[in-house]
Amino acid sequence: MINQEKYLTPKEIVAELDKYIIGQKDAKRNVAIALRNRWRRMNVKTEMQGEIVPNNILMIGATGVGKTEIARRLAKISNAPFTKVEASKFTEVGYVGRDVESMVRDLVEQSVNLVKSEKKEEVKLKAEQVVEDIILDALIPPLKGNGAGYKNPASTETVTGELPQTEQELNERTRERFREKIRNGEMEDRKIEINVQKPVNAGVGMIGGGMMDESSMINLQEMISGMMPKKNKKRKVTIGEARKILIEEESAKLIDMDEVKELAIRKAENTGIIFIDEIDKIAGGASRKGGGGGPDVSREGVQRDLLPVVEGSTVNTKYGLIRTDHILFIAAGAFHIAKPSDLIPELQGRFPIRVELDNLTKEDFYHILKEPKNALTKQYESLLEAEEVELKFQEDAMEEIAETAFHINSEVENIGARRLHTVMSQLLNEFLFDVPDKIGPNAKIVVTREMVKEKLSSLVKNKDLSEFIL
């Protein structure tokens, strides 16, 4: 049973999405229900649990309205493995490009990384203690008195018998003093020599046609890597760097990888989210219905390859077999030329929830600039804060920026919220160039409506002239 505390209610999910995405209430509600339904399914106590399949979602909307951001934030909220693929990638090489099952393998890879991170946190304390001892041994090697003899640091003679108590104590006291310094971070820049495990490179490649599929190639590389002996090499690094390298190595030794693989497969199967972008690019459109050949053969081929994965099949990955029955698929596309009905009927049926995202209004642009946690205005304020320069946007300045972005989108091409990046870059590039040479620390920059009009006038003029340039 899944821990209730980790799963938010639909209302709480929408509230979390509201922190980063403006508007699109319908899309947020639908993804919130889909996410909560996963918890509900995992808590069904009868055999019905295996029968309940997720309602996959098809998002329809212009570029830059928040389709990808909704899916990405959803995965972050639920701490679920997430992967994004572009459907058009599968059509690029010959008739069918990349193997469609690769998106499931990518999802499992993400899942393994998530589980490994969780397990590393669990063994972090133990790993840190081991690493502390390794660093200490590199700085002050321990003196061992085992009756076989020891080297007197003051001479070259080997003295038989036990270590003198005073020398043993002196060594221990020195080690403890250095241990304290290491813990307090006083020796981070001191260089030491450590043994680092060299990565094994299987170096398997293929010339010519695809005699072997992607899955078999991965398995072959894994097998060859496992057979090759692992080598260590000495590296001279600072204690700060050594700690990072060694914690990674020691954590890996403490983790049971078989358990990680098992948990990762289960996590990917039950909570994984695959976001298929640009699905409209593989919709056949009018020419498919007219029976034309050409690129539409490739598009329909990709749809037919996607179908079994979305329907529910077993995919072979290097971590084991994974069933795709309960993975949540979210597809998205602008559908300017094609329509959702241009997809093959079987694939349409696998995306029963359809959500149309609204085009952004002038008010939406204003709220995007002001409200989200990662708003562009806040990002630029943080960038200049790093140079000890204060940047402030007046309310009417933000309104003017929003109006300019909306105006350019409606006149040229609607690229949604991404237009704000163009506008903000044009507005602030001069300041970003002048700091810190002309504009020194403790300066204050206030962005006003007049400044916005002046700086962005060339952008609007260029846009008008572009209509006449061939």
156 pLDDT tier (thresholds 50, 70, 90) = very low
45 is in an annotated binding site: no
d(CA 267, CA 80): 8
274 and 407 share one domain:
no
Q: Mean of the pLDDT values across residues 276-294?
A: 66
Q: Write down the pLDDT at residue 153.
A: 46
Please identify, among 338, 356, 374, the residue that sits at the C-terminal boundary of a domain.
356
191 & 315 share domain: no
Indicate the angle between helix axes 239-254 and 102-139, nearest 10 degrees: 120
Q: Is 277 annotated as a binding residue?
A: yes
Pair (124, 209) in one structural domain: yes
- Which distant-in-sequence residues (6+ apart) come within 8 Å of 277 by Cβ? 67, 68, 84, 85, 86, 87, 331, 332, 333
Query: What count of residues does the chain have?
Result: 470
Do 271 and 371 belong to one domain? Answer: no
Q: How many CA atoms lie within 13 A of 235 on its CB side?
A: 16
Mean pLDDT in residue range 456-467:
65
Tokens 């403490």 found at: 254
| Tens digits of residue pLDDT in 36-90 | 998 899 888 888 888 898 999 999 998 888 898 998 898 888 888 999 999 888 8
- Rounded CA-CA distance 7/298 in Å is 40
In a domain, 154, yes or no: no
- How many separate domains does the chain show? 3
**Closest listed residue to residue 401, CA positions, set 436, 441, 366:** 366
- Answer whether 88's CB lies under 8 Å from 383's CB: no
What pLDDT was estimated at residue 225?
63
166 is in an annotated binding site: no
Q: What is the pLDDT of residue 329?
A: 95
Q: Which has the higher per-residue pLDDT, 465 or 380? A: 380
Q: Is the dihedral of CA 214, 218, 219, 221 positive or negative?
A: positive
**All residues at 6 or more sequence positions from 132 whose CB lies less than 8 Å from its CB, including other chains:** 179, 182, 183
Helix (H, G, I), strand (E, B) or coil at 74: helix
Gap between the Cα atoms of 239 and 192, Å rounded: 7
Q: Given this model, what pLDDT does residue 162 score? A: 52
Q: With 80 as the cut, is the pLDDT of residue 210 above it?
A: no
- Following DSSP, what letter does each residue of 158-206 receive, concatenated? EEEESPPHHHHHHHHHHHHHHHHHHHTTTTTT-EEEEEEEPPP------
CA angle in degrees (0–180, nearest 5) for 457-460-464: 135
Q: Which of 259, 276, 302 is the last residue of a domain?
A: 259
Residue 213 assigned ligand-binding role: no
Same domain, residue pair 141 and 103:
no
What is the Cα–Cα distance from 192 to 135, expressed in whole angstroms? Answer: 8
Domain end residue (candidates: 305, 328, 356) = 356
- Among 322, 324, 326, 325, smallest CA distance to 262 is for 322
> What was the pLDDT predicted at 408?
87
Buried b (16+ CB within 10 A) or exposed e, 233-246: eeeebebebbbeeb
Tell me the CATH number at 87.
3.40.50.300
226 belongs to an annotated ligand binding site: no
CA distances 254 to 65, 128, 131, 181, 261, Å, are 44, 11, 12, 26, 15
- The answer on 122 and 43 residing in a single domain is no
Is 68 annotated for ligand binding?
yes
What is the greatest pairwise CA distance in the chain?
96
- Interatomic CA distance for residues 133 and 470, integer angstroms: 69
294 is in an annotated binding site: no
Is 23 within any annotated ligand binding site?
no
111 close to 265: Cβ distance less than 8 angstroms = yes
From CA 183, how far away is CA 243, in angstroms rounded? 11
Residue 458's pLDDT is 78
Q: Is residue 436 reached through a cis peptide bond, with omega within 30 degrees of 0 on the bond before it?
A: yes
Q: Which two tokens stand for residue 469?
A: 């340039």
| CATH code of the domain in which 433 resides | 1.10.8.60
| Per-residue model confidence (pLDDT) at position 366 | 93
241 and 132 together in one domain: yes
Task: Please give the residue range of the domain that contains residue 442.
Answer: 362-459
Same domain as 272, residue 230: no
Question: Quick one: average pLDDT of 345-374?
Answer: 91
Is residue 453 situated within a structural domain? Answer: yes
The pLDDT value recorded for residue 230 is 67
How distant, in Å, are the alpha carbons of 40, 46, 327 from that of 52? Answer: 10, 11, 12
pLDDT of residue 347: 92
- Give yes or no: residues 324 and 409 share one domain: no
270 and 374 belong to one structural domain: no
